[in-house]
Structure 1
Amino acid sequence: MPVISRPYDFNEEQLYVDLRPMFGQPLFLKCEGFNFAGSIKLKAAIEMVESAEQEGLLHEDSIIVESSSGNLGVALSMIAASKGYQFLCVTDSRCNLPTRLMMEALGSEVRVISQEGHAGGFLGARLDYVRALCASDERYVWLSQYTNPGNWRAHYRRTAPAIARRFPALDVLFVGAGTTGTLMGCARFFREWHRPVRIVALDAVGSVSFGGEPGRRMIPGLGMSVRPPLLDETFVDEVIRVEEADTIRACHRMARKGFLFGGSTGTVVSGATRWLAAHDTRDLTAVALAPDLGERYLDTVYQRNWLHALYGESVLEEEGTPAAGELPQGLAAGS
């Protein structure tokens, strides 16, 4: 076991879950939640902070500020505490309570935006608030995960190469789309790889990342209410949009087998298994990225009163993903 003195020095890269026994599809789930920040956002966070240090943007009296729905905020809280910076996270009312409490426990300040902006929903309002903060005091340093190339560079350098080493015959990679940092970093790496890899992006219904009308989204993590500046669709082969009810069902299905994953992971798994059920998977090697674990969703995705109030009492009774050995109606193997 490693011995560390800084919390961001540890990140498990080698753990995968074989989902075939649960979903009847050949899918390996790369678990990115086993670090002290609890999510894949640790990689982008440390890349952006250390790049800002190298560029001379961060000083002893700097206050790091960032807009986050949760996971990046926790990662930056941890790094700021370790490095001795102040950190202010601007989030909104959809951020899970455990996530907010975790950031505060790490010494960060959390400000919650409760009203949507005139354009861009909650995200637009959060960004306006961050811009006003930065204009008011030069000590604020905005890392801007939505535009910072360090966001995708972290996954080009670390996440995608780790997958390539473990699965040299990879055919399909499923990646959730939020800021699209993970998506773009992995897609850029595999575009340059020695064999073609199909990149399938998973997005939440109601997100406008790939076009379409905005809609209600209650599960934080994936999806955007404005087009992600980092997104280059030429690197993406296919987009699958997932209803939140299907996200919830995938989460609960895995939990019934002892795997407690977060909402972002449920979205990725639901969309990936739907895609696999509609394709010929003989000799296919498929990997999906699991951005987070489930503890921060205990009062939402795993809380029945919350689920019933938002999605109806039947939300867990209708399976949105095929059972082992079964295909959804209208889909045939090899279609």
Structure 2
Amino acid sequence: MPVISVPYAFNEEELYVDLRSIFGHSLYLKCEGFNFAGSIKLKAATEMVETAERDGVLTPKSILVESSSGNLGVALSMIAASKGYQFLCVTDARGNLSTRLMMEALGSQVHVIADQEANGGFLGARIEYIRALCASDDRYVWLSQYTNPSNWKAHYRTTAPEIARQFPRLDVLFVGAGTTGTLMGCARYFREWHRPVRIIAVDSVGSVSFGGPPGRRMIPGLGMSMRPPLLDETYVDEVIRVEEADTIRTCHRLARRGFLLGGSTGTVVSGASDWLARHDARELTAVAIGPDLGERYLDTIYHTNWLEDIYGKDVLNSREVHAGSWDSDAPVARWRRRLDLQTGDLNGDQHHQLQDRKT
């Protein structure tokens, strides 16, 4: 049995679910949520922190800061708690309440950006906030998951070889696209492998990662409101874009079979299932990477009021839910107010008290 002394030392690497009985196609889902951080982001977080330590960028006096919609924030919170660092996560109003509470339980501070940009996103505002913070105090260390090569190197070293060991005849790999760290690490690895593997990126409708118009996205995780700096499209064979309503229906379909999985996983599975249904996949070995589990989405994609507020009462039955068919500002405002009432918000100066409370 494994015996560990630090929480980031454990990660289940070899758990796959064959989804044939649910979707009618052989699709092996690599479940990456079985670690103490609850998602695949543990791999990138560990690699980025350890690289920063080796390079001397991160010292005992440093205060870690990162922009995250949730999962990386939890992973960094766990690592920071274990290693004795202070950590400030800059997130936005779309983040799951349970994720924020988890980071705070681990001793981290959370700053929520509430004002959306013209393109409907929050990322630019989150990054500007961090840049101003780092300019004001050199103790802040921004790992920058969006540009840090350790993000993709983590998956080149771990995720891709894990899949290769279990599926030596792999034909097609479906990978969700957020920062594109997982996508680039796996794509680079399999480009060098002994046989061709088709790499299919799965993105959310409304994301601009691979071009196209920006749109409202309410499910945190996949998708970006800017082109990911780590992305090199020459490694990607195809891109699938998934409507959020399809993500929700897929998550509920999996849950009705006992698999409570996260929004990012639901997006990847939805895109992969649709692709397999449109192709002759009988002889293909197909794997999809499932980044997260579903507990952190209980107050969003598994919450009836949230679904009805944003997508209407028929979202689980109808395939005719279109972006822009609802008031795009109201859902964020309503759920932002609910989050504030439940947990309170950091005011503009509280992050400056972070080091005083922990030193």
TM-score normalised by the chain length of structure 2: 0.88
Q: Which residue of 2 aligns with 1:310?
A: 310
CA distance in 1, matches of 2:124, 2:245: 25
Alpha-carbon shift at residue 141 of structure 1 (Å): 0.3
Tell me, yes or no, if the aligned pair for 2:201 and 2:236 is still in contact at 8 Å: yes
Pairwise mapping of residues 164-313 of structure 1 onto structure 2 (< 5 A)? 164-313=164-313
Q: Would you say the 8 A contact 1:204–1:243 is kept in 2?
A: yes
User: Does the CA-based 8 Å contact 1:252-1:302 persist in structure 2?
Assistant: yes
Asked whether the 8 Å contact 1:116–1:124 carries over to 2, the reply is no
Q: Deviations over 1:62-95 (max 9, x none)?
A: 0000000000000000000000000000000001
Q: 2: CA distance between counterparts of 1:8 and 1:120? A: 34
Paired residue for 1:154?
A: 154
Structure 2: distance between partners of 1:106 and 1:319: 39
Aligned to 2:129: 129
8 Å contact from structure 1 (residues 179, 228) kept in 2: yes
Q: Following TM superposition, by how much is the alpha carbon of 1:283 offset from its aligned partner in structure 2, in angstroms? A: 1.5
Native 8 Å contact 1:188 1:235 kept in 2: yes
**Kept in 2: contact 1:249–1:319 (CA 8 A):** no
Residue identity in the other structure for 2:59: H
State the alpha-carbon separation in 2 of the partners of residues 254 and 134 from structure 1.
42
Give the aligned residue type for 2:61: D
For 2:48, the aligned partner's letter is M
- Structure 1 position 120, deviation (Å): 7.7
Counterpart check, 1:69 vs 2:69:
yes
Shift in Å, 1:29: 0.1
What amino acid maps onto 1:170 in structure 2? L
Matched letter for residue 159 of structure 2: T
CA distance in 2, matches of 1:220, 1:143: 20
Structure 1 residues 33-74: Cα deviation after superposition (integer angstroms, max 9, x where no partner): 000000000000000000000000011110000000000000
User: Aligned equivalents of 1:122 and 1:43: distance in 2?
Assistant: 25
Q: Aligned partner of 1:162: which letter?
A: E
Identity fraction in percent: 79
Q: Distance in 1 between matches of 2:190 and 2:56?
A: 32
Structural RMSD (CA): 1.0
Q: Moved runs in structure 1, 4+ residues, more than 3 A?
A: 117-120
Q: Which residue pairs with 2:5 in the alignment?
A: 5
Q: Retained in 2: the 8 A contact 1:272–1:288?
A: yes
1:117 Cα deviation after fit: 3.6
Superposed displacement of residue 282, structure 1 = 2.0
Please give the secondary structure, in 2, of the residue aligned with 1:184: helix
Aligned residue identity for 2:126:
R
Tell me if structure 2 keeps the 8 A contact 1:184–1:235: yes
**For 1:170-227, what per-residue CA distance to the aligned partner results, in whole angstroms no more than 9, with x for missing partners?**
0000000000000000000000000000000000000000001100000000000000
Which whole-Å deviations, capped at 9, do the CAs of 1:76-133 have from their partners, x for residues lacking one? 0000000000000000000100000000000000000000245783000000000000
What residue identity is the alignment partner of 1:257? R
Aligned to 1:108: 108
Contact 2:119/2:214 (8 A) holds in 1 = no
What secondary structure does 2:122 align onto?
A: helix
The 8 Å contact of residues 120 and 216 in structure 2, kept in 1 or not, is answered as no
2:353 — aligned with what?
A: none
> Aligned to 1:121, what secondary structure does the other structure show?
coil
CA contact (8 A) 2:90 2:111 kept: yes
Deviation of the 1:281 alpha carbon: 1.0
Question: Is the contact between residue 245 and residue 319 of structure 2 (CA under 8 Å) also seen in structure 1?
Answer: no
With the length of structure 1 as denominator, give the TM-score of the two structures.
0.94
List runs of 5+ in structure 2 lacking aligned partners.
321-359
Find the counterpart in structure 1 of residue 22 from structure 2.
22
1:291 maps to a residue whose letter is P
What is the deviation of 1:318? 3.0
Partner SS for 2:202: strand
| Separation (CA, whole Å) in 2 of partners of 1:51 and 1:130 | 20
Q: Distance in 2 between matches of 1:197 and 1:14?
A: 20
CA contact (8 A) 2:121 2:216 kept: no
Q: Distance in 2 between matches of 1:185 and 1:202?
A: 15
SS in 2 for 1:91: strand
Equivalenced residue count is 320
The amino acid across from 1:30 in the alignment is K
| Distance in 2, Cα, partners of 1:121 & 1:239 | 21
Separation of aligned partners in 2, 1:108 and 1:232: 33
Letter in 1 for 2:247: T
